[in-house]
Each structure stands twice: as structure tokens, then as C-alpha cells.
Structure 1
Amino acid sequence: MTVAFHRLGVRRDGDEWIVGRVDSGDFVAVPEEGLLAIRLLQQGMGIEQVRVRLLEETGTDLDLDDFVADLSEAGLVAEVEGHPVPSPPQLRPTFPWLQPRHLRWALHPALHLALSVPIGAGIACLALRPAIFPSWETIFWSDHGTVVLLTWAALAWLTTGLHELTHLVTARAAGVPARMSLGTRLQFLVAQTDVSGIWLAPTRTRVTVYLSGIAVDLAICGMALTWAFIVGPNPLTSWITLIQALRLANQLLVFMRTDLYFLLQDVSGCRNLYGNGAAYVRGLLRGRRNTLAVLPPRERVSVRLYAMLQSVGTLACLAFAVLVTLPLVVTLIAHSVQDLLGAEEPWAMAEALVVLALVIIPDLLWARAWWRRHGRRVRQAVAAVGSALRARSEINDRYEMR
């Protein structure tokens, strides 16, 4: 039996090899014998021939049927005996007209050095005159709350788009078909860029892609602080500084999949720190303590420590959502509806409608992104509950008939 693979790339990772598809972001970790088996299969050898060859050269009797089945499930196998194997589709990149050859400059060390100039200038200006860092009062530059909210929303989404575009550009420069989209992290609506294909890139390139957005945020914040130091604070620089500072603070919430989380995952040598941490906590809640046995020993300590941070951070975020965010949103909606119904002037009515839109639209986008990610599991759970209730009803009916 012969096996044909999709276009694969490889990278050594400790004692194992990362093998996968850059175009779909699907990867597996295999030992040396597994990589040799893939190489031999790629040369057109049959499964039995490869098994015998491995046994002769390495002394390992690899169950190639299960091995190929696992690779097929991971989406790496294209055909078996000439028959196509269903696999995940290729990632549809954002801005496909951006080609790696156009963006090589994004990975050049000279650009990284250039970004350090505004960052260093901002830090120096803030150290010399701490008062240039804006307080919350400075952002309320207009008596109309609607104008303030619109300004905040416009600048926040503009800088967020620039942040994600930076990830996309650096990933595309490395040949990864990155894709931008909206997603969710707990109760937060976030813009995100899928750069999963970067797994095969060298360490320096991976770190550059992970930190590129943060570097641009720091550079923008540094320029705003420098302007405030030289010319004096103004509403625009105050807004930009606060928005960028908040975004940088959010990156520290590594119990979610922030940019710094991916850096932490890479530095710790773990391949799925978030997923393994969550699985470890679920195992403990169910009374199972051996959920980490499948992981290499070097990953287990990191996963245990991360699982503690993940649990505490998730609970704190959800508590904040229930105790602070939800009451605030309900209050804003209630007051806006009240103002809308009682408005006598067009301007007051417009203000109420704008506030409602700024509160409700992000929540609707969050719900849509959450359902797109979790809807299938919800439908399966509802179907399972429905089946159980129907089965119980049938048993009760039979009992009553007796």
C-alpha cells in the first residue's frame, strides 16, 4: 500500500521532529523513526517495505498502519493507494496579493533596530517627565459622551488593525499564509491573526512574528509620549497612549492566547500549553492525575505551572465579567433606551442610538464569533440531551403500559 502526502515541511524540536503543512497549519511531532518512515513513504515505497526497512536500520518495529492513520487524521496524507483522503482545506489568506518577496524587509534586523528608536525615546521622555502620561480625565475632551466614545472606538479599531496587519506582514514574509479574523478570548471580542504555519520557521522568525504587533504598539506609544514631551499633551496623543498602554497590559494575560502566550509557549518548549493546561485541570476535577503522562517529561512542569495560572486567571476574568462588565452593559443599554424614548431633540436621539450601537454591536460580533467556534459542540450537546430525554420518556411509557 502506497501513501502520498501533501507538501510537508520539517523542523527539529529537541529529540523529535515537527512535520506539517504550512498551507493549512496542521502539524504533528514525530520521533526520528517516524520522520524516516515519512521520507521512505514519500519515495514511493509501500507500507510493508518501509516497515522492513525501519526494522533493519533502526531496530524499531513501527505499526505503520496506525502511524499513517494518525497522519491522515492530522490532515497530512493526500492519497492512499491513489484514493484521495479527506483533509482540512488550505488556509485562505487575508490579502493574498501580498507575496513573501514583497515583504522580506519586515524580517530584516535593521527594521527592528529602527523600531527601537521611538520606543527608547518614549521611555526616556516618560522617565524625564512622568506627568506626560495621561490620566483618565484627560480623554474626556468633549462635553458630548458620544463623541468621546466614537473617538475611542475609531482609534482602538484603527490601532488594532495595524497591530494585526503587522503580524500578517511578518508571517507572510516568512511564507506563511496568515489570515485575520474576529475571535473570542473568554468574554473579550478580539481581532486575531492565524499564523499557525510559523511552526516550521526558525526560532528568530517565530519570535519576530509573535512580538511584531507588540513592537509596533510600543513604537506608536513611544511616538505619542515623545510628541507630548516636546509639544505638550493633547487629546489625540493622550488617547493613543492610553489605548496602546491598555493593549500592552492585555498582552500580559497569558492565561489566554495573547501574543506573549505564544512566546511563553515557544520558550517553554511546549507545543500546546493552553490545551494541555486545560486538559490537566479537567483531569484533576474528574479525579484523574495521569493526564500528563503522554507528554515529554520536560513539558510536564511547565504545563502544571501554567494550569494554575490559567485556572486563576480564567476564574478572575469570568468573575469580572459577571460582577462588573455585565451590570455596566445592562445599565448603559437601559439608560440609552430611556434616553432614546424620552428624547425630544434629534441630537439627543442620535446620541442614544450611537451609545446603543457601540454597546450592542461588539456583543453581537462576540456572540457570532463564539458560536462559529463553539456552535457545533453546543448542537451536539443539545442533541445528546434530547436523545437521553427521549430514551427516558420511552422507558417511562413502557413502564406505564405494564
Structure 2
Amino acid sequence: MNDTAAQGPTRIGPSTRVLLHDLGVRRDGDEWIVGRMATRTFVALPAAGARALELLGEGLSVARTAEVLRDETGDELDIADFVGDLTALGFVARIGDRPVPDAEPPPASLPWLRPQHVRHALHPALPVLAGVLLLAALVVLVRRPGLLPGYRDLLWSPHGSVVLLTWAAAGWTLLFAHELAHLVTARAAGVPGRMRLGTRLQFLVMQTDISGIELAPRRHRLTSYLAGIAVNLSVASALVLTLACTDPAATGHRLAAAALVIALMPLPFQLMVFTRTDLYFVLQDLTGCRNLYGDGLAYARHRYRRAVRSRRRPAGADPSVRLPPHERRAVRLYSVVLVTGTAACVAFMAAVTLPADVTLLVRAAQGLGPAHGLARNADSAAVLLTLGGVNVLWLATRCRDRRDRRDRRDRRARRACGPAATS
């Protein structure tokens, strides 16, 4: 057990001074985004909170900080309580002469990749080049619409196993490139970033956590959010140009057409902003919302409770009322998209995906055994390994994410914190 923790909580008195960890700060409208990159913890502070943080960082005591703020704002602020909030967030390294126990920082993916290695990823010329490439591909498609691919292009070979291997190789390569683009652009902005598997409703996805990009300028934030989509569109554009320059009967042409379909397939999923896709984060940033998904979900739950409320179980206060007007409008509109989209996805899973998966798995299980030939056993085993493996991986990832959220629940920052005025 940590000796400091064993001694019990440190009392925060008027003469207490604190030592803060290295914190990043960015002004955002009337608030300040403050965070610690090492632990990926970020909060929005009012102006008084940012000023209190500055004074505490300069070595002023709790009482002296409160006195300065009283002179500047005219309010009596509870700085001791504010220091307690900062400590809970992991922003305080030492209280008085006692160190504060620190959490283990989450590991970053590709830690050897330094910001100076990828600094050109945020160069303003890159989006222009991607736009020129996309425009050239669109011009080619307008002049030669026959190059526009269809599902038949995926079946480029008469051998099913070769087709499946092509899908897997191209799909995973593009998926890795998509997520690597997020990681590289975030790393260029000084954000560690972490790639791993995740779930979005019934979908198994690969995701990149770029917490900390909140401290970067807006252009860098939007570049990081849109980098994956830009990679897919750039690859697709290059493949269109390749198709225009190759013989339709050549194997390379057919492979390029199949790869083009695979590159375009993930893009419609990005429109499902109710699953927190890349475009969701763009939408959240442009609307100025702090937690569009969380606030939208809270508002949707409130509306549901109002619809089914009774005298014994009142609906409670509207959680969106505490939000600024521009956020309130965005959250209420997003809650409609959230409920509608989630209901549609769950309904599709119940009506189509789940019955199809169960049917295939049952058939595969029935096709195993000595009563069936080698080909039938091999086919059944392949179905069980691929389809069953994906579902098991989804379930394991879902359980891991829920466990992680539960472990972080007590450590998560509130949406906004600051020194509270005392009565």
C-alpha cells in the first residue's frame, strides 16, 4: 500500500500550498479547457477556475488565492473545495509536503513515433492535395461513369477463398491506415493516442483514442478527426485514376475495382453520428458541445421518463437546462438522431443480422461430424471460426469496455468544475 494513501486524506487548510502537474490550457469561448496529457483527463473551467488554477500554480496558498480572487471578482470562493476537485482529477502532484498518489498513465500506441517525426502531417498543404486528388477522380467518373464500381467488382475471382482473402487483406490494411491517420495527426499535435478494438452498438470497430486533442487549435482538431476519412477518399481517388489507366480485362484492373469498393464501404458508416463516428466528433466540435453524446443521452432519458412518468416516479429536472443555449439546441436535436438511429440499428440487428448469424452457426454446427464429408466439415469449421470468432471478439471487447468505464467512473471529471462561491 502507498504510504501516503495509508496516512489518510491530507487536510486542505488556509495555509496549504499545492504543486500541480504539468497541465495544458486553452481558452474556448467563455471557458478554459484544462487537462493533463499524461492521464488524458480534461475539464472545462470558468474564468474564475482558470484564474484560481493559475494562482495556485504560482505557489499561492489557499487563503491567499481566495483573497486575490475576492479582490478581482468580488466573490468569496471556496478554494479548498476546488483543490479537492483538482486532486480527484489527478491534477495535483503534492499537497503541502505530502505527495499525492498518481494513477498509471494509459499506454500509447507506437510510443516510438515522436511528434517531430510526423510534424508534416498537420501541414495545410496536405488537405489541399487530398482535395485535388478527389476532384480529379470525380472528373474522371463524370466523364467515364462506367468506372463507378458495383458489388460485382468484389467478386473479381472465381475462387471464393481468394476473394475472401482479398477482402480481409484489403479491409484490414485500409482499416489500419484509417486509424493510423488519426494517430499520426494527433501525435503531430503532441497527443499520445491509442489504437484498439471497440464496439459501437452491434458493430466491432477499431478506434483511436486521441484524448488531449481538445487542447489543440481547431484546425488541428478537425484535421485529426477527418484524417481517417481523408485516407479512405484519397485511396479511392487513386484507385479511380488507376482504373482509368488500365485494361479492364487485366487482373490488376479487377483487383483495383475490388479495392475501390472496399475503400468506399466504410464511408456510409461515418454518417451514423449516433455511434460516435469520426463525423460525430466534427459535429461536436462545430456545435461547441462538451459532451454531445452524453448530454443527448441524458436528455433522451429525461424525455422518456416524462412520457411514462407517474405521481410516484416524477420525471425530474430537464438536464439540458443547465447547458448554454447553443449547446441546449444542439443536444436536443442530436437526441432525436440518437434515439432514431439506435432504434433502427437494433431493429435491423434483431430482424436481419442476428437471425442470419444464428442460422449460419446452427448449420455449421450440424455440418460437423464423421457423417459428413471432408468438404462439409471444413466449410462448417471455417464458418464457426470466422463468424463465431467475430461474435466472441465483439462480446469480449464489449465486456472489457464496460469494465473500463466502471473503473473510470469514480475518476472521471465532471463536465465543468470550478471554485464554488460560498454563502
* Structural mapping, 1:1-400, within 5 Å: 1-233=16-248, 234-286=253-305, 287-341=315-369, 343-345=372-374, 348-375=376-403
Q: Give, in whole Å, the separation in 2 of the partners of 1:188 and 1:33.
A: 43
**SS of residue matched to 1:293:** helix
Relative contact order, CA 8 A, sep 6+: which one is greater?
2
Report the Cα offset of residue 232 of structure 1: 4.5
Asked if structure 1 preserves the Cα contact closer than 8 Å seen for 2:156 and 2:258, the reply is no
Asked if structure 1 preserves the Cα contact closer than 8 Å seen for 2:299 and 2:319, the reply is yes
Q: Quote the residue 2:9 is aligned against.
A: none
Q: Quote the residue 2:308 is aligned against.
A: none
Partner deviation per Cα, 1:70-116 (whole Å, 9 max, x = no partner): 22233322222233334543231111110011111111122222223
Partner deviation per Cα, 1:167-199 (whole Å, 9 max, x = no partner): 111111111001101001111011011101100
**SS of residue matched to 2:196:** strand
Distance 1:154 1:355, change over 3 A: farther
Partner deviation per Cα, 1:271-327 (whole Å, 9 max, x = no partner): 110111111112222323521122222210000000110110011111111111111
The letter for the 1-side match of 2:258 is W
Asked if structure 2 preserves the Cα contact closer than 8 Å seen for 1:23 and 1:197, the reply is no
**SS of residue matched to 1:18:** strand
Q: Give, in whole Å, the separation in 1 of the partners of 2:267 and 2:72.
A: 52
Q: Give, in whole Å, the separation in 1 of the partners of 2:349 and 2:263.
A: 22
Q: Give, in whole Å, the separation in 2 of the partners of 1:180 and 1:377.
A: 17
The letter for the 2-side match of 1:229 is A
The letter for the 2-side match of 1:288 is G
Q: Give, in whole Å, the separation in 2 of the partners of 1:169 and 1:116.
A: 19
Instruction: State the identity as a percent.
Output: 47
Partner deviation per Cα, 1:324-368 (whole Å, 9 max, x = no partner): 1111111222233344445423x5544433332221222122111
**SS of residue matched to 2:22:** coil
The letter for the 2-side match of 1:198 is I
**SS of residue matched to 2:272:** coil
- Which sits farther off after the overlay, 142-151 or 89-98? 142-151
Alpha-carbon RMSD: 2.0
- Which sits farther off after the overlay, 260-269 or 146-155? 146-155
More helix by share: 1
Distance 1:122 1:332, change over 3 A: farther
- Which sits farther off after the overlay, 77-86 or 20-29? 77-86
Asked if structure 2 preserves the Cα contact closer than 8 Å seen for 1:11 and 1:200, the reply is yes
Asked if structure 2 preserves the Cα contact closer than 8 Å seen for 1:23 and 1:176, the reply is no
Ranges of 4+ aligned residues in structure 1 off by more than 4 Å: 376-379
Partner deviation per Cα, 1:21-50 (whole Å, 9 max, x = no partner): 122221111111111100110111111111
Asked if structure 2 preserves the Cα contact closer than 8 Å seen for 1:126 and 1:133, the reply is yes
Q: Give, in whole Å, the separation in 1 of the partners of 2:256 and 2:365.
A: 33
Asked if structure 2 preserves the Cα contact closer than 8 Å seen for 1:337 and 1:352, the reply is yes
Normalising by structure 2, report the TM-score: 0.84
Distance 1:340 1:90, change over 3 A: same
Gaps of 5+ in 2: 1-15, 306-314, 408-423
Instruction: Work out the number of aligned pairs and report it.
Output: 378
- Which sits farther off after the overlay, 280-289 or 11-20? 280-289
Gaps of 5+ in 1: 380-402
Asked if structure 2 preserves the Cα contact closer than 8 Å seen for 1:168 and 1:178, the reply is yes
Q: Give, in whole Å, the separation in 1 of the partners of 2:292 and 2:131.
A: 30
**SS of residue matched to 1:69:** helix
Report the Cα offset of residue 267 of structure 1: 0.3
